[in-house]
Amino acid sequence: MGENIFVDFTAWLRGLISGLGVPDLFNDIILMIVKLAAIIVFIALNATWLVYMERKICAYIQSRVGPRHHGPVGLLQPVFDVVKLMTKEIVLPKNVDLVVFLLAPVLIVVPPIVAYSVLPFGKDMVAIDMNIGLFFLVAVTSLSTIMFWMAGWASNNKYSLVGGMRVVAQMVSYELPLVLAMLGVVMITGTLNLSEVVNAQKNVWFIFAQPIAFLIYFIAGVAETNRPPFDLVEGESEIIAGPYTEYAGMGFAMFYGLAEFANMMVISAMCTVMFLGGWLAPFGLTFIPSWVWFFLKMYLVIFIFMWVRWTFPRIRVDQLMGFGWKVLVPLSLANIFITGTGMYIYRAIGW
């Protein structure tokens, strides 16, 4: 029931366009544009919802009730936020590097959108079934660092600069354990294609096969998305808002709302694909469509992200770097070693 809605729709659209006598090449291009538009709409809708969800969870954890006035149970709050941010002036401070300053908030949303093109949302639901999907995704998401650095540098502000420095230090440091954690999964599956990674988890999810890798991935993922307790980049109490300090209105919204939540969704979706069995249904509950399972798992991970965010205080910069380089990296290397040894032993005994 509903399992093939999107796949069937794509096939129908392809048939419709080729029925109009459009050559196959243009047909592919049109379909790709439709898919990317769908991804952008998906990200925008989810980001708005996540703003609401974040505020609600924050409020509930702090024994409050959160947004409540606009719409039923405050559901229209993000809409009001967006309208407010859109109507605000974009302030251009003196002596900013104008091109870079204005380009940074536009480019910041590109990596997550591009990353989504290789993510399998459900059975056969992937925009581009790339055989190096994982590699592509990791390469693209690490680009965000440059946008943050652009914003930090172009603002011509000491807080922005410090924030930008912290972004580079943090994201580069935590990229390493993130990738090394995923390497354990790749060693078991022997493929970089995300659909095949999901299919390899038919018998057992990799969270059970690779628990340490999952933990490392989760921690590094929180750090990658610059969310508390790793939000040194913003660090309100220390450096105002880091690279976002000089941004107002929609520029700020692009960084804070769209990019942060889009990045968080990418990290959660990757977590789902790599460790939680992607769109595979647990306990044989296959009557629920695969893409619903994907969503449920993704939102579970997002919830844990938020739960962690509103529980732990921010850690110091030296603690951050120490934790990244002295704990997570050796741990992930050890995990790779253990995985390799295990695989070798299993192969030797012919299991």
Partner 1 sequence: MFGQGLLKGLEITWGRLFGKKHTVNYPYKRIEMFPRFHGRFQLDVDKCIACGLCVNACPNKVIEMEREKVGKKQFLTKYVMRIEYCLFCGLCVESCNRDALRFTNVIDMNQYRRKWVRLTLVDRPAPEAEETPEEAPAKAAKAEAAAGKAPDKEG
The residue among 312 and 344 lying less far from partner 1, judged by its C-beta, is 312
The residue among 9 and 312 lying less far from partner 1, judged by its C-beta, is 312
Return the sign of the alpha-carbon dihedral for residues 332, 337, 343, 345: negative
Least distance to partner 1, CB of residue 311, Å = 4
Task: Confirm if 90 and 251 have CB atoms less than 8 A apart.
Answer: yes
Q: Give the closest residue to 121 by CA, choosing from 16, 43, 206.
A: 43
The residue among 57 and 161 lying less far from partner 1, judged by its C-beta, is 57
The residue among 264 and 306 lying less far from partner 1, judged by its C-beta, is 306
Could you tell me which stretch among 78-86, 185-193, 238-246, 304-312 binds partner 1 (CB under 8 A)? 304-312
Least distance to partner 1, CB of residue 218, Å = 12
The residue among 62 and 341 lying less far from partner 1, judged by its C-beta, is 62
Cα separation, 286 vs 269, whole angstroms: 20
65 part of the interface to partner 1, by CB under 8 A: yes
The residue among 59 and 132 lying less far from partner 1, judged by its C-beta, is 59
| Site pattern 262..301 for partner 1 (x: CB under 8 A) | ----------------------------------------
Least distance to partner 1, CB of residue 327, Å = 10
204 part of the interface to partner 1, by CB under 8 A: no
308 part of the interface to partner 1, by CB under 8 A: yes
Least distance to partner 1, CB of residue 129, Å = 37
Of the candidates 30, 40, 61, 132, which one interacts with partner 1 according to CB under 8 A?
61
Structure tokens at 113: 């959108």
Least distance to partner 1, CB of residue 65, Å = 5
Residues in 206-225 that interact with partner 1 by CB under 8 A: none
Adjacent-strand bridge partners of 125: 122
Least distance to partner 1, CB of residue 305, Å = 12
* CA atoms within a 13 Å half-sphere pointing along the CA-CB vector of 193: 11
Least distance to partner 1, CB of residue 263, Å = 23
Of the candidates 26, 307, 344, 346, which one interacts with partner 1 according to CB under 8 A?
307
Least distance to partner 1, CB of residue 313, Å = 9
The residue among 35 and 56 lying less far from partner 1, judged by its C-beta, is 56
The residue among 61 and 103 lying less far from partner 1, judged by its C-beta, is 61
Of the candidates 12, 60, 337, 346, which one interacts with partner 1 according to CB under 8 A?
60
Return the sign of the alpha-carbon dihedral for residues 329, 333, 339, 342: negative
Least distance to partner 1, CB of residue 69, Å = 10
Structure tokens at 42: 């998906």
Q: Which residues bind partner 1 (CB under 8 A)?
A: 57, 59-65, 68, 307-308, 310-312
